[in-house]
A and B are shown apart, each in its own frame.
Chain A
Amino acid sequence: MAPAPPRSGSETFAVRASGVDRAFGGVQALRDASFAARPGEIHALAGENGAGKSTLIKILCGLIKPDQGTVEILGTEVSRVVDPATRRRMGVATAFQELSLLPDLTVAENLLLQAPPRGRLGLVRRGRLAPVAAEVLRHYGVDDIDPRATAADLSVAQRQVVELVRVLAGEPRVVILDEPTAALPDRQVEWLAGHMRRLRDEGSCVIFTSHRWREIEALADQVTVFRNGTRVATRERLSEAEAVTLMSGRSFAGAYPEITTEPTAESALRVTGLHGGRLRGVDLDLRRGEILGVGGLAGQGQRDLFLTLFGAQRAAAGTITVDGRTVTVRSPKDAIRAGVGIAYVPEDRKAEGLFLPLSIRDNIAAATLSRRATAGFVNRRAERLAVTSIVDRLRIGAGRSTSRAADTLSGGNQQKVVMARWLLTDARILLLYDVTRGVDAATKHDIYELVATLAAQGRAILYHSSETEEIAHLCHRVLVLREGRVAAELAGPVGDAERIVAASIKEGQDA
């Protein structure tokens, strides 16, 4: 389906949004935002997490309605049409960041849901689903995915590929890809780039977001930068330093604090032969005052390591020693216990951290309830004192009442609330798992400083981040996980993230 040439002046833009406002609860996600992209171009949307990119995408593809403003697709005004099906018929196809594959359906059913092969009487020929899907996959150069497999059984990368094939197979005139490469290995990134260029050359408009600046540089004809819910620039060329400045509103240098203190020689947490989930025998020794980075490609067992140490997931084998004593951690309750003192701050604060409708105070107090209770009754005075002091210390929510619901806070403040909960436990071992994800630049900076301070106070910190840069700059030492084992150990600060990436993909054992 070749796109028709522009018919009128208004169709010089494939997509145009102007003056768009959108709020979620108390959070203004988009404020007077504008965006425009032409047919025949690849247009990158850049911005930090929480800058409003995902909200804009949801508005463009008709999942949510703007509170204000206009949206035009291929010259038609669609501001009030909130219906992805209508957008699809107009030629808009979207690959979502939170994957939209249907987990219980097969790959074939997912691909052909809207246009299944039919026989006489118009009935779906279920036997033909898999062969037809296999053909579609092959057409787009995918041959390692079984169309009969259930989507839930695929790896994250495979699911992403199927999602992308689903989008490509519509041969859309407007393609929106939200973080399409986040879950893809390099080979498939190349595959996707090829298709994006082909669609562009055929006259489609390709809009995508990415956290990897290299990809934006290599692919985009235009870059639009968002910050705090508004567009701050649209350029043809943009250097990484410029982009970071635009996105964060501060200069590139000095993003990470200097790590000045050295770890002590005392071991805080020693792990030997840890199995469970994807872990295939992890050994590590975390010392007091140390920030130990855990890196590697996505899905090499990092999450299993953190969850197993915290008791949220069962260890199949291995021993965990805290301060020289072997401990059994069967549940988070065991881990929090005074004698053990392990805290885990999760990446996905909405799913795993926060009680959104509950008050800030309830959120912060949640892990230490019994410490301020007599005979099961909450000592409200002690609770208020404890919460107020930690709120002041972390500068949460700029003087707002702690009885406000957590969902009225911004993403950064929400993450601080979760951090505050765990600092109240006085845990000496902190497991920080991708805690800066979806957090604005200022909060990120606060979190880095906090991590450095905590280490200086003698706490032991295990640190994982999906942004390898962070691990490279913030950690005393970095362990690289591969296939559930420690594949390499790098003395830090590593400084150059490429070294961690190189160690992640190098074959053989060189630890």
Chain B
Amino acid sequence: MSRLSPGARRILYALAGTAAVLLVGALLHPGFASWSSLRVMLVVASFTGFVAAGQMLVVLVGGIDLSIPWVLNGAAIVLTTTSLGQTSRAPLAIVLALGVGALVGLGNGVGVAWLGVPAVVMTLGMNGVMQGLTLGLSKGLTCASCGSYAPSPLRGLFSGGLPAQLLLWAGVGVFMTVLLTLTTFGRRVYAVGVNPRAAFLSGVGVRGVTVALYTCSGVFAALAGIALVAYGGQPSLGLGDPYLFESIAAVVVGGVSILGGRGHYLGVIAGSLTLVAVTTFLAAQRVPEYGRLIIYGLVILAILFAYGREKAHD
């Protein structure tokens, strides 16, 4: 173990966590780890995986995105209200929904990088703005087109033995890994995350990188919104609410340092899977909603104690 880098070790811990939860589940509930059950878990985990991809990118540069819930919800509603359930309008609707996410992310990035607004404040404010806009414009989801469903090709993402949604998630995984490990952009992201001043003095466009990352986070939140509405058929209000916590939790469980500069998407995938496995397990144990919330919090605290601690004072 000592030969592994701390980063690789954290990914292993996250994967071990997933395996452990699955094992316990399988022992207590026959069929917990069957393919049909696993398939559902993977699909549900993919939503967390999408938002966590964006969250991870901003966390890598020491930021945080609290605007995910209503960007996700807004994008989901944009998708159904512009597509009106018609296949021919689906491409336009998807572009629009992703565009909303990109725009909000861009706004967050500009606020944080150029105007010097603390990330917590900027993204929290933006979440409020998106919530107000979404509720107001859709008249509390009572507008004429608000009852529309997602176009059927999108809903097809989830059918079949190996749902296309999972291939999409795999694609996101490849994209994130390639972006962060093989490109100059990825190198710059880690440099900015570890030491922004040194990165700036090394000719890295710190602001540009930051804006790009927040924009990506917005796009990923929108992507999750599209996927969720495709999964459920119709959007609802508060659709995105659980995903703020989920995204941050997946990032933390996946071994990404909240202080920036450290972590890999592979870990985040494992983190998302662990979270969903825990949720599924709790559901199988018939633990009510409140119990899930409490146990979720405790699990995160335990993981933070395991490897989220800041260095001792030196």
Q: Do chains A and B touch in the complex (CB under 8 A)?
A: yes
CB within 8 Å of B: which residues of A? Answer: 24, 63-64, 310, 312, 331-333, 335-336, 344, 346, 351-358, 362, 365-367, 369-370, 373, 376-378, 421
Q: Are A336 and B203 in contact (CB under 8 A)?
A: yes
Q: Are B198 and A352 in contact (CB under 8 A)?
A: yes
A344 to B203, CA, bound (A): 11
Decide yes or no whether B197 CB sits under 8 A from chain A. Answer: yes
A373 to B183, CA, bound (A): 8
Residues of the A chain whose Cβ atoms lie less than 8 Å from the Cβ of B182: 377-378
User: 19 A–B contact pairs at CB < 8 A?
Assistant: A24-B314, A63-B313, A331-B203, A332-B203, A333-B205, A336-B202, A351-B197, A351-B198, A357-B194, A358-B190, A358-B191, A358-B261, A362-B191, A366-B187, A366-B202, A367-B203, A369-B184, A376-B184, A378-B184
Q: Are B198 and A354 in contact (CB under 8 A)?
A: yes
Residues in B155-195 with C-beta less than 8 Å from chain A: 182-185, 187-188, 190-191, 194-195
A346 to B261, CA, bound (A): 21
Residues of the A chain whose Cβ atoms lie less than 8 Å from the Cβ of B191: 355, 358, 362, 366
Residues of the B chain whose Cβ atoms lie less than 8 Å from the Cβ of A421: 202
The 7 closest A-B pairs by CB, nearest first: A369-B184, A355-B194, A367-B202, A336-B203, A333-B203, A366-B202, A332-B203
Of the candidates B184, B197, B203, the one whose C-beta lies within 8 Å of that of A352 is B197
A312 to B194, CA, bound (A): 19
Residues of the A chain whose Cβ atoms lie less than 8 Å from the Cβ of B264: none
Q: Shortest distance in angstroms between B275's beta carbon and chain A's nearest beta carbon?
A: 26
Q: Shortest distance in angstroms between B179's beta carbon and chain A's nearest beta carbon?
A: 9
Question: In the complex, which residue of chain B has the Cβ closest to the Cβ of A349?
Answer: B198
Most A CB contacts (10 A, CB to CB) among B182, B191, B203, B204 go to: B203
A357 to B261, CA, bound (A): 8
Decide yes or no whether B262 CB sits under 8 A from chain A. Answer: yes
Residues of the B chain whose Cβ atoms lie less than 8 Å from the Cβ of A63: 313-314
Question: In the complex, which residue of chain B has the Cβ closest to the Cβ of A375?
Answer: B183
A63 to B182, CA, bound (A): 42
Q: Are B187 and A378 in contact (CB under 8 A)?
A: yes
Q: Shortest distance in angstroms between B160's beta carbon and chain A's nearest beta carbon?
A: 34
Of the candidates A24, A312, A362, the one whose C-beta lies within 8 Å of that of B201 is A312
Decide yes or no whether B199 CB sits under 8 A from chain A. Answer: yes
Residues of the B chain whose Cβ atoms lie less than 8 Å from the Cβ of A310: 201
Q: Are B187 and A312 in contact (CB under 8 A)?
A: no
Question: In the complex, which residue of chain A has the Cβ closest to the Cβ of B193?
Answer: A355
Question: In the complex, which residue of chain B has the Cβ closest to the Cβ of A367?
Answer: B202
Decide yes or no whether B114 CB sits under 8 A from chain A. Answer: no
Residues of the A chain whose Cβ atoms lie less than 8 Å from the Cβ of B307: none
Residues of the B chain whose Cβ atoms lie less than 8 Å from the Cβ of A312: 200-201
Residues of the A chain whose Cβ atoms lie less than 8 Å from the Cβ of B194: 355-358
Q: Shortest distance in angstroms between A390's beta carbon and chain B's nearest beta carbon?
A: 15
Of the candidates A24, A331, A333, A373, the one whose C-beta lies within 8 Å of that of B184 is A373
Q: Shortest distance in angstroms between A284's beta carbon and chain B's nearest beta carbon?
A: 21
A367 to B184, CA, bound (A): 11
Residues of the B chain whose Cβ atoms lie less than 8 Å from the Cβ of A24: 314
A355 to B194, CA, bound (A): 6
B residues contacting the other copy or chain, number (CB 8 A): 23
Residues of the A chain whose Cβ atoms lie less than 8 Å from the Cβ of B314: 24, 63-64
Q: Are B202 and A356 in contact (CB under 8 A)?
A: no
A82 to B202, CA, bound (A): 38
Q: Are A370 and B202 in contact (CB under 8 A)?
A: no
Q: Shortest distance in angstroms between A209's beta carbon and chain B's nearest beta carbon?
A: 19
Question: In the complex, which residue of chain A has the Cβ closest to the Cβ of B188?
Answer: A369
Interface SS majority for chain B: helix
Q: Are A376 and B198 in contact (CB under 8 A)?
A: no
Of the candidates B184, B187, B201, the one whose C-beta lies within 8 Å of that of A332 is B201
Q: Are B195 and A354 in contact (CB under 8 A)?
A: yes
Question: In the complex, which residue of chain A has the Cβ closest to the Cβ of B205?
Answer: A333
A310 to B200, CA, bound (A): 11
Question: In the complex, which residue of chain A has the Cβ closest to the Cβ of B207?
Answer: A331
Residues of the A chain whose Cβ atoms lie less than 8 Å from the Cβ of B203: 331-333, 335-336, 367
Residues of the B chain whose Cβ atoms lie less than 8 Å from the Cβ of A370: 184
Question: In the complex, which residue of chain A has the Cβ closest to the Cβ of B182?
Answer: A377
Q: Shortest distance in angstroms between A356's beta carbon and chain B's nearest beta carbon?
A: 7
A335 to B261, CA, bound (A): 25
Question: In the complex, which residue of chain A has the Cβ closest to the Cβ of B178?
Answer: A377
Answer whether A365 and B201 are a contact pair too, CB < 8 Å, given A64-B314, A354-B195, A356-B195.
no
Residues of the B chain whose Cβ atoms lie less than 8 Å from the Cβ of A331: 200, 203, 205
- Contact flags (1/0) for B59-70 with A, using CB distance below 8 Å? 000000000000
Question: In the complex, which residue of chain B has the Cβ closest to the Cβ of A421?
Answer: B202
A462 to B195, CA, bound (A): 25
Residues of the A chain whose Cβ atoms lie less than 8 Å from the Cβ of B197: 351-352
Apart from the given pairs A335-B203, A346-B201, 4 other A-B contacts in the complex at a CB distance below 8 Å: A332-B200, A354-B198, A356-B194, A362-B190
- Contact flags (1/0) for B209-248 with A, using CB distance below 8 Å? 0000000000000000000000000000000000000000
Residues of the A chain whose Cβ atoms lie less than 8 Å from the Cβ of B200: 312, 331-332
A358 to B193, CA, bound (A): 11
Question: In the complex, which residue of chain A has the Cβ closest to the Cβ of B208?
Answer: A333
Q: Shortest distance in angstroms between B29's beta carbon and chain A's nearest beta carbon?
A: 41
Question: In the complex, which residue of chain B has the Cβ closest to the Cβ of A333?
Answer: B203
Q: Are B183 and A366 in contact (CB under 8 A)?
A: no
Question: In the complex, which residue of chain A has the Cβ closest to the Cβ of B7?
Answer: A357
Residues of the A chain whose Cβ atoms lie less than 8 Å from the Cβ of B262: 357
Of the candidates B183, B190, B204, the one whose C-beta lies within 8 Å of that of A376 is B183
Most B CB contacts (10 A, CB to CB) among A354, A355, A365, A376 go to: A355
Question: In the complex, which residue of chain A has the Cβ closest to the Cβ of B261?
Answer: A357
Question: In the complex, which residue of chain A has the Cβ closest to the Cβ of B190?
Answer: A358
Residues of the B chain whose Cβ atoms lie less than 8 Å from the Cβ of A357: 194, 261-262
A346 to B199, CA, bound (A): 12
A332 to B198, CA, bound (A): 11
A24 to B183, CA, bound (A): 32
- Contact flags (1/0) for B303-314 with A, using CB distance below 8 Å? 000000000011
A424 to B261, CA, bound (A): 23
Q: Shortest distance in angstroms between B11's beta carbon and chain A's nearest beta carbon?
A: 16
Residues of the A chain whose Cβ atoms lie less than 8 Å from the Cβ of B313: 63-64
A365 to B190, CA, bound (A): 13
Residues of the B chain whose Cβ atoms lie less than 8 Å from the Cβ of A346: 201
Question: In the complex, which residue of chain B has the Cβ closest to the Cβ of A359?
Answer: B5
Residues of the B chain whose Cβ atoms lie less than 8 Å from the Cβ of A351: 195, 197-198
Residues of the B chain whose Cβ atoms lie less than 8 Å from the Cβ of A356: 194-195
A356 to B314, CA, bound (A): 16
Q: Are B195 and A355 in contact (CB under 8 A)?
A: yes
Question: In the complex, which residue of chain B has the Cβ closest to the Cβ of A351?
Answer: B197
Of the candidates B187, B188, B198, B261, the one whose C-beta lies within 8 Å of that of A353 is B198
Residues of the A chain whose Cβ atoms lie less than 8 Å from the Cβ of B187: 362, 365-366, 369, 378
Q: Shortest distance in angstroms between A223's beta carbon and chain B's nearest beta carbon?
A: 28
A389 to B198, CA, bound (A): 23
Q: Are B185 and A376 in contact (CB under 8 A)?
A: yes
